[in-house]
Structure 1
Protein backbone atom coordinates (compact mmCIF):
# COMPACT_ATOMS: atom_id res chain seq x y z
CA UNK A 1 0.00 0.00 0.00
CA UNK A 2 1.33 3.45 -0.88
CA UNK A 3 1.81 6.29 1.55
CA UNK A 4 -1.22 8.55 1.92
CA UNK A 5 0.93 11.69 1.88
CA UNK A 6 4.57 11.88 0.80
CA UNK A 7 6.63 14.87 1.89
CA UNK A 8 9.84 15.56 -0.01
CA UNK A 9 13.04 16.43 1.78
CA UNK A 10 12.83 20.05 0.50
CA UNK A 11 9.29 20.37 1.91
CA UNK A 12 10.35 18.85 5.23
CA UNK A 13 13.08 21.48 5.68
CA UNK A 14 10.57 24.26 5.04
CA UNK A 15 7.93 22.73 7.33
CA UNK A 16 10.48 22.38 10.15
CA UNK A 17 11.52 26.03 9.68
CA UNK A 18 7.87 27.12 9.84
CA UNK A 19 7.30 25.04 12.99
CA UNK A 20 10.36 26.60 14.63
CA UNK A 21 9.39 30.14 13.56
CA UNK A 22 5.81 29.71 14.88
CA UNK A 23 6.79 27.94 18.12
CA UNK A 24 5.03 24.77 16.90
CA UNK A 25 7.95 22.34 17.29
CA UNK A 26 6.63 18.93 18.30
CA UNK A 27 3.22 19.62 16.77
CA UNK A 28 1.59 17.56 14.04
CA UNK A 29 1.30 18.76 10.46
CA UNK A 30 -2.36 18.41 9.46
CA UNK A 31 -2.92 17.74 5.73
CA UNK A 32 -6.60 18.06 4.87
CA UNK A 33 -9.14 18.30 2.09
CA UNK A 34 -12.07 20.69 2.30
CA UNK A 35 -14.85 21.77 -0.02
CA UNK A 36 -14.39 24.93 -2.05
CA UNK A 37 -12.11 26.45 -4.61
CA UNK A 38 -12.71 26.75 -8.34
CA UNK A 39 -12.79 23.00 -8.95
CA UNK A 40 -14.63 21.84 -5.83
CA UNK A 41 -12.01 20.65 -3.33
CA UNK A 42 -9.03 22.44 -1.85
CA UNK A 43 -6.05 21.47 0.26
CA UNK A 44 -5.34 22.65 3.76
CA UNK A 45 -2.19 22.42 5.86
CA UNK A 46 -1.65 23.59 9.41
CA UNK A 47 -0.20 22.65 12.76
CA UNK A 48 -2.08 20.88 15.55
CA UNK A 49 -0.89 19.86 19.01
CA UNK A 50 -2.82 16.58 19.24
CA UNK A 51 -4.23 13.80 17.07
CA UNK A 52 -7.93 12.99 17.08
CA UNK A 53 -9.72 9.64 17.00
CA UNK A 54 -10.50 9.99 13.29
CA UNK A 55 -6.87 10.71 12.37
CA UNK A 56 -4.33 8.54 10.64
CA UNK A 57 -0.82 9.28 11.92
CA UNK A 58 2.25 9.21 9.66
CA UNK A 59 5.84 10.32 10.12
CA UNK A 60 8.39 11.41 7.53
CA UNK A 61 11.72 13.21 7.96
CA UNK A 62 10.91 13.58 11.67
CA UNK A 63 7.62 15.37 10.95
CA UNK A 64 4.48 13.88 12.50
CA UNK A 65 1.61 14.10 10.00
CA UNK A 66 -2.15 13.83 10.56
CA UNK A 67 -4.68 12.94 7.89
CA UNK A 68 -8.37 12.46 8.67
CA UNK A 69 -9.33 8.89 7.72
CA UNK A 70 -12.11 10.30 5.48
CA UNK A 71 -9.51 12.29 3.51
CA UNK A 72 -7.10 9.35 3.09
CA UNK A 73 -8.65 7.94 -0.13
CA UNK A 74 -8.67 11.40 -1.71
CA UNK A 75 -5.06 12.13 -0.72
CA UNK A 76 -3.59 8.64 -1.26
CA UNK A 77 -0.21 9.03 -2.97
CA UNK A 78 -0.18 12.85 -2.80
CA UNK A 79 3.31 14.38 -2.92
CA UNK A 80 3.99 17.67 -1.13
CA UNK A 81 7.14 19.45 -2.32
CA UNK A 82 8.69 22.86 -1.83
CA UNK A 83 10.12 24.68 -4.83
CA UNK A 84 12.27 27.79 -4.80
CA UNK A 85 12.39 30.16 -7.78
CA UNK A 86 13.44 33.72 -8.58
CA UNK A 87 9.93 34.83 -7.60
CA UNK A 88 10.17 33.18 -4.18
CA UNK A 89 9.21 29.75 -2.92
CA UNK A 90 6.10 27.77 -2.28
CA UNK A 91 4.64 24.37 -1.66
CA UNK A 92 3.44 22.28 -4.59
CA UNK A 93 0.95 19.44 -4.23
CA UNK A 94 0.71 16.63 -6.77
CA UNK A 95 -2.30 14.40 -6.23
CA UNK A 96 -2.52 11.33 -8.49
CA UNK A 97 -6.26 11.10 -7.71
CA UNK A 98 -7.08 14.55 -9.09
CA UNK A 99 -8.77 14.43 -12.49
CA UNK A 100 -9.10 18.21 -12.80
CA UNK A 101 -7.50 21.19 -11.10
CA UNK A 102 -7.68 24.94 -11.42
CA UNK A 103 -4.93 27.14 -12.82
CA UNK A 104 -3.57 28.06 -9.39
CA UNK A 105 -3.19 24.38 -8.47
CA UNK A 106 -4.82 24.67 -5.05
CA UNK A 107 -8.24 23.40 -6.10
CA UNK A 108 -9.07 20.01 -7.59
CA UNK A 109 -11.64 17.24 -7.93
CA UNK A 110 -11.40 13.46 -8.09
CA UNK A 111 -13.42 10.93 -10.04
CA UNK A 112 -15.35 10.04 -6.87
CA UNK A 113 -15.52 13.46 -5.18
CA UNK A 114 -16.33 16.70 -6.97
CA UNK A 115 -16.63 18.77 -3.78
CA UNK A 116 -18.45 22.09 -3.77
CA UNK A 117 -17.03 24.55 -6.35
CA UNK A 118 -17.02 28.26 -5.60
CA UNK A 119 -16.86 31.13 -8.05
CA UNK A 120 -13.28 32.28 -8.58
Structure 2
Protein backbone atom coordinates (compact mmCIF):
# COMPACT_ATOMS: atom_id res chain seq x y z
CA UNK A 1 0.00 0.00 0.00
CA UNK A 2 1.31 3.45 -0.89
CA UNK A 3 1.97 5.89 1.89
CA UNK A 4 -0.96 7.80 3.28
CA UNK A 5 -1.62 10.89 1.22
CA UNK A 6 -4.58 13.23 1.19
CA UNK A 7 -5.81 13.35 -2.38
CA UNK A 8 -9.53 13.86 -1.75
CA UNK A 9 -11.06 16.44 0.59
CA UNK A 10 -14.27 14.95 1.98
CA UNK A 11 -16.54 17.43 3.74
CA UNK A 12 -18.37 16.57 6.93
CA UNK A 13 -21.72 16.67 5.08
CA UNK A 14 -20.42 14.23 2.44
CA UNK A 15 -18.98 11.90 5.08
CA UNK A 16 -22.31 11.83 6.91
CA UNK A 17 -24.06 10.81 3.68
CA UNK A 18 -21.40 8.19 2.87
CA UNK A 19 -21.78 6.67 6.36
CA UNK A 20 -25.57 6.54 5.88
CA UNK A 21 -25.14 4.78 2.55
CA UNK A 22 -22.67 2.31 4.09
CA UNK A 23 -25.27 1.33 6.67
CA UNK A 24 -28.03 1.03 4.05
CA UNK A 25 -25.81 -1.21 1.89
CA UNK A 26 -24.39 -3.20 4.84
CA UNK A 27 -20.88 -1.96 3.97
CA UNK A 28 -19.95 -0.43 7.34
CA UNK A 29 -16.43 -1.93 7.23
CA UNK A 30 -15.73 -0.89 3.63
CA UNK A 31 -13.60 1.93 2.32
CA UNK A 32 -14.74 4.58 -0.15
CA UNK A 33 -12.90 4.32 -3.46
CA UNK A 34 -12.89 7.47 -5.58
CA UNK A 35 -11.87 6.92 -9.18
CA UNK A 36 -11.74 8.39 -12.67
CA UNK A 37 -13.02 6.42 -15.64
CA UNK A 38 -13.45 7.09 -19.33
CA UNK A 39 -16.87 8.22 -20.51
CA UNK A 40 -19.27 11.10 -20.54
CA UNK A 41 -19.58 14.00 -22.94
CA UNK A 42 -16.28 15.56 -21.80
CA UNK A 43 -14.37 12.26 -21.86
CA UNK A 44 -13.84 11.43 -18.17
CA UNK A 45 -16.24 10.78 -15.31
CA UNK A 46 -16.02 10.23 -11.58
CA UNK A 47 -16.76 7.00 -9.80
CA UNK A 48 -17.36 6.29 -6.12
CA UNK A 49 -17.85 2.81 -4.71
CA UNK A 50 -17.53 0.88 -1.49
CA UNK A 51 -14.61 -1.50 -1.54
CA UNK A 52 -13.05 -4.04 0.81
CA UNK A 53 -9.72 -4.39 -1.05
CA UNK A 54 -6.81 -1.98 -0.89
CA UNK A 55 -4.17 -2.44 -3.60
CA UNK A 56 -0.44 -2.01 -3.04
CA UNK A 57 -0.32 1.15 -5.15
CA UNK A 58 -3.40 2.83 -3.61
CA UNK A 59 -3.20 6.04 -1.63
CA UNK A 60 -5.18 5.71 1.60
CA UNK A 61 -6.48 8.49 3.82
CA UNK A 62 -9.00 8.72 6.62
CA UNK A 63 -11.35 11.67 7.07
CA UNK A 64 -14.37 12.02 9.36
CA UNK A 65 -14.23 8.27 10.09
CA UNK A 66 -14.24 7.28 6.39
CA UNK A 67 -11.26 5.48 4.86
CA UNK A 68 -10.74 6.88 1.35
CA UNK A 69 -8.85 4.99 -1.37
CA UNK A 70 -7.49 6.49 -4.59
CA UNK A 71 -5.35 4.57 -7.09
CA UNK A 72 -1.92 5.94 -7.91
CA UNK A 73 -3.06 6.30 -11.54
CA UNK A 74 -6.01 8.54 -10.55
CA UNK A 75 -4.28 10.51 -7.78
CA UNK A 76 -2.80 13.18 -10.08
CA UNK A 77 -6.13 13.96 -11.70
CA UNK A 78 -7.99 13.93 -8.35
CA UNK A 79 -5.41 15.81 -6.22
CA UNK A 80 -7.21 18.36 -3.96
CA UNK A 81 -10.65 17.40 -5.28
CA UNK A 82 -13.38 18.38 -2.83
CA UNK A 83 -16.42 16.12 -2.43
CA UNK A 84 -19.41 17.68 -0.70
CA UNK A 85 -23.07 16.78 -0.26
CA UNK A 86 -25.72 19.44 -0.87
CA UNK A 87 -29.33 19.16 0.22
CA UNK A 88 -32.04 21.24 -1.49
CA UNK A 89 -35.80 21.26 -1.95
CA UNK A 90 -35.31 19.07 -5.02
CA UNK A 91 -33.35 16.44 -3.07
CA UNK A 92 -29.68 15.99 -2.43
CA UNK A 93 -26.56 14.95 -4.21
CA UNK A 94 -22.79 14.84 -4.13
CA UNK A 95 -20.88 17.74 -5.66
CA UNK A 96 -17.32 17.37 -6.90
CA UNK A 97 -15.01 20.34 -7.23
CA UNK A 98 -11.85 19.26 -9.05
CA UNK A 99 -9.23 21.99 -9.52
CA UNK A 100 -7.50 19.76 -12.13
CA UNK A 101 -10.49 19.71 -14.48
CA UNK A 102 -9.92 21.84 -17.56
CA UNK A 103 -13.61 21.83 -18.44
CA UNK A 104 -16.82 20.21 -17.24
CA UNK A 105 -19.83 19.24 -19.29
CA UNK A 106 -23.20 20.94 -19.04
CA UNK A 107 -24.78 17.94 -17.35
CA UNK A 108 -22.11 18.09 -14.62
CA UNK A 109 -21.14 14.43 -14.71
CA UNK A 110 -17.97 14.48 -16.77
CA UNK A 111 -14.84 16.55 -17.24
CA UNK A 112 -11.60 17.00 -19.19
CA UNK A 113 -8.12 16.82 -17.67
CA UNK A 114 -4.76 17.55 -19.27
CA UNK A 115 -3.17 14.60 -17.46
CA UNK A 116 -5.41 12.02 -19.17
CA UNK A 117 -6.82 12.62 -22.65
CA UNK A 118 -10.09 10.79 -23.26
CA UNK A 119 -12.69 10.31 -25.99
CA UNK A 120 -15.80 12.44 -25.62
CA UNK A 121 -19.14 10.62 -25.68
CA UNK A 122 -22.69 11.93 -26.19
CA UNK A 123 -24.57 13.07 -23.05
CA UNK A 124 -27.24 10.68 -21.87
TM-score scaled by structure 2?
A: 0.92
Unaligned runs of 5+ in 2: none
Which one of 38, 54, 57 corresponds to residue 41 of structure 2?
38
Structure 2 partner of 1:28: 31
Q: Following superposition of structure 1 onto structure 2, how do residues 57-68 of structure 1 map, counting pairs within 5 Å?
A: 57-68=60-71
What do residues 55-75 of structure 1 show as CA deviations (whole Å, max 9, x unaligned)? 111110010011000100000
Match of residue 47 from structure 1: 50
CA contact under 8 A between 2:34 and 2:68: conserved in structure 1?
yes
Aligned match of 2:83: 80
RMSD of aligned Cα (Å): 1.1
Pairs aligned (count): 119
Runs of 4+ in structure 1 deviating by more than 3 angstroms, as ranges, are: none
| 1:104 aligned partner | 107
1:12 aligned residue: 15
Uncovered stretches (5+) of structure 1, i.e. residues with no partner: none
Maintained 8 Å contact 1:41/1:115 = yes
SS at match of 1:80: strand
